[in-house]
Structure 1
């Protein structure tokens, strides 16, 4: 049985137990809390290894020059746009309304002010930042560490290989933790529904709908504009040429697993050179998560609404920054969205228990988010290849709906 099916079963059984047991369902809360702690346990090492390895994939800044600048610049701008779309829709649709009863029992942690954020960016002791779980300081240190490895050249290679191994191990550990997801979902949903009742169901589906609408806007409008006006190519051949990658991304919920198919599609159907497609897509599978950024921003606002916690301008700035960095630091494998969400909630001063409200439908959210992640990488590849004259436009415009490798 597929893991996402198991999670949905856990969701519905948890809802059923919550409705039947009501207040008595709180006995399951401890198991849900354990699952959340397992997720948060993964955050620091995933961020450190993924960001450092992602930066080092750029290799020599001198060698890559414009390509690296254009690629990263496109990824950052598209991610910020994705976050903005998520924030606007979350405030318009208000998917978290109807869950305000939770706030009676919960006390949010202290939210950072803008001054606090700026003063706390640089760690005085990186080991202390790791031990304390200070995610912003770990992110900044990871960026600096990755750049230092690049300039160390050959002497930095052993550390890079070690961190590549760490990243692989953390991905596998995430897989192990996500094997417990159906049980964690059951416990969290039973306790949540038992506490707040059937009113929790409607916002869950509103939350999912909000994510899908935001992803479609990014996919069909933002990416189309980028192709037409930045890359200056026709839009339809792009979607035709990338259809195989879209199918794989949707069914696997993993942009990393889709990478071989994405590279094949961009080279064979879109006519992009091997060096451009390999570099841009490989880097994008690690640091470009437009769909993930949408999910983080909507989830944070959704949870704040559910707990009755107002979000001011400073918190919006914090959310944009943390969502951007968490999207960069999130490996493209199923389940890591929840791990990254925990750090977003932590920095914003929102209760980590809010994860219980979105975890049941997170796999369904990830399916669409992964499509946006993969397609965002491909749009960047087309843009960079066009600027570098590394795309065969005849091949690009020959792409049809009938071509398929699946």
Structure 2
């Protein structure tokens, strides 16, 4: 029994927690369908408290980890050209994969035809938020108050300030080296805190899945089941075929090793449905399991969590075709091209806006003259799809990080091929054990 306990890894524990959470939630839902006690004390009580605390623990780490890691990474890049090259490669790859995701989604949706104009659209209402203008987005990238940016969790502003600060550290001689050493120590500490939070994952995932099983509305699935299946199918195709193919093509590395080492981060992303909440785990995975140097991972992953939205792009592509088919509106080749261009640019342009996926979808629908109210058709199943597309998004962030790191010679092949590298480590240093 002790042998089995030692061999049970974090991935297995998370899967067990996820399965038990869904099972317990469904049992309670079936056995006590209208119980006020279950609703108040279990769903919104115990499960909500545990799940929310777990997500808050992850979010608590995001701002300090992004700032500290970026300062460490940027301070090691003494030449501006290196930073510019790193940013250029990263953004180019993110835009490229987002365009692929959109084209793939539209193509599959047109072929399978998930929409049916027999669906009722009479009482649909959706209040779409206005996305900021491109000029305002560019202005908002630069923080007027870095502390406020950290308080608000504005990732783009934090990234800009951290890059400037880290670059300044690398150019003030001995004083800068002393500051860089302090940040390196802080980075080790914050990554150890990430490891601590990862030990709580099975319990947090259990609570999140239990609450989801108790609250998820199943009545809307029948009407949009085909839409759900198409989006899910394209997400899986993009995550398990397109990304591994790109990784093999650009790096020559074995994609199976990559996918195996990404399982923990993917499960975190699936459970939390938040790229930002998963960022600490994704950075831990990239640096300690995949062998990516901190100076690359600290830049590409926070940027990806903010602007790389391949999973969301897939949802937008399928949803656009679906809503057009439901309303019986024909879209031309020019319309589809407009969808690809608009959504690809919007993946960067609307970064940081609350409810960004639906904001972007509303922009796309307006661009091609489709009724924004159609978004109400897909809201009922969006929660589950959001979980899957978040896992796809963070996988894309890591693939980009691997490709950029390999091209910058900031990659440790030995760590990548070591199956035990970066697994959840003991909190007691080996030298202190008796």
Structure 1 unaligned residues grouped into runs of 5+: 13-56, 107-132, 150-156, 170-184, 191-199
Alignment of 1:315-330 (within 5 A): 315-329=335-349
Match of 1:78 in 2: 97
Q: Deviations over 1:379-406 (max 9, x none)?
A: 0000000001111101101136994579
Asked whether the equivalents of residues 313 and 343 of structure 2 are also in contact (C-alpha less than 8 Å), the reply is: yes
- Structure 1 residues 347, 166: closer, same or farther in 2, change over 3 A? farther
Asked whether the equivalents of residues 87 and 301 of structure 1 are also in contact (C-alpha less than 8 Å), the reply is: yes
Asked whether the equivalents of residues 288 and 421 of structure 2 are also in contact (C-alpha less than 8 Å), the reply is: no
Alignment of 1:194-205 (within 5 A): 202-205=222-225
Distance in 2, matches of 1:241 and 1:91, equals 35
Alignment of 1:92-107 (within 5 A): 92-99=111-118, 102=121
Match of 2:373 in 1: 353
Find the residue that maps to 2:144 and give its secondary structure. helix
Instruction: Select which of 245, 248, 251 maps to 1:225.
Output: 245
- Structure 1 residues 89, 401: closer, same or farther in 2, change over 3 A? farther
Match of 2:108 in 1: 89
Deviation at 1:201, TM superposition (A): 5.1
Distance in 1, matches of 2:422 and 2:299, equals 28
- Structure 1 residues 254, 329: closer, same or farther in 2, change over 3 A? farther
Distance in 1, matches of 2:270 and 2:329, equals 33
Q: Are 2:367 and 1:381 equivalent residues in the alignment?
A: no
Find the residue that maps to 1:272 and give its secondary structure. coil
Deviation at 1:143, TM superposition (A): 5.3
Q: Given the two structures, how large is their TM-score scaled by the length of structure 2?
A: 0.60
Instruction: Select which of 313, 326, 334 maps to 1:293.
Output: 313
Distance in 2, matches of 1:339 and 1:167, equals 19
Match of 1:369 in 2: 389
- Structure 1 residues 333, 363: closer, same or farther in 2, change over 3 A? farther
Asked whether the equivalents of residues 415 and 421 of structure 2 are also in contact (C-alpha less than 8 Å), the reply is: no
- Structure 1 residues 356, 105: closer, same or farther in 2, change over 3 A? closer
Deviation at 1:347, TM superposition (A): 2.5
Structure 2 unaligned residues grouped into runs of 5+: 1-17, 30-69, 156-215, 427-434
Distance in 1, matches of 2:368 and 2:80, equals 34
Asked whether the equivalents of residues 221 and 380 of structure 2 are also in contact (C-alpha less than 8 Å), the reply is: no
Instruction: Select which of 140, 157, 164 maps to 2:134.
Output: 140
Deviation at 1:322, TM superposition (A): 2.0
Q: Deviations over 1:254-280 (max 9, x none)?
A: 111100000000111101111111110
Find the residue that maps to 2:224 and give its secondary structure. helix
Deviation at 1:160, TM superposition (A): 6.1
Q: Are 2:230 and 1:210 equivalent residues in the alignment?
A: yes
Asked whether the equivalents of residues 285 and 374 of structure 1 are also in contact (C-alpha less than 8 Å), the reply is: yes
Distance in 1, matches of 2:413 and 2:91, equals 24
Moved more, 246-255 or 344-353: 344-353
Match of 2:169 in 1: none
Deviation at 1:146, TM superposition (A): 5.9
Distance in 2, matches of 1:217 and 1:333, equals 27
Deviation at 1:301, TM superposition (A): 1.2
- Structure 1 residues 71, 311: closer, same or farther in 2, change over 3 A? same
Distance in 2, matches of 1:390 and 1:401, equals 17
Asked whether the equivalents of residues 105 and 318 of structure 2 are also in contact (C-alpha less than 8 Å), the reply is: yes
What's the Cα RMSD here?
A: 4.0
Deviation at 1:164, TM superposition (A): 6.0
Deviation at 1:365, TM superposition (A): 0.8
Match of 1:113 in 2: none
Match of 1:302 in 2: 322
Moved more, 330-339 or 380-389: 330-339
Q: Are 2:182 and 1:158 equivalent residues in the alignment?
A: no
Asked whether the equivalents of residues 290 and 373 of structure 1 are also in contact (C-alpha less than 8 Å), the reply is: yes
Deviation at 1:252, TM superposition (A): 0.7
Distance in 1, matches of 2:358 and 2:415, equals 39
Asked whether the equivalents of residues 95 and 302 of structure 1 are also in contact (C-alpha less than 8 Å), the reply is: yes
- Structure 1 residues 267, 201: closer, same or farther in 2, change over 3 A? closer
Q: Deviations over 1:327-378 (max 9, x none)?
A: 2245589954223322222222211211110000000111110011000000
- Structure 1 residues 97, 362: closer, same or farther in 2, change over 3 A? same
Asked whether the equivalents of residues 117 and 328 of structure 2 are also in contact (C-alpha less than 8 Å), the reply is: no
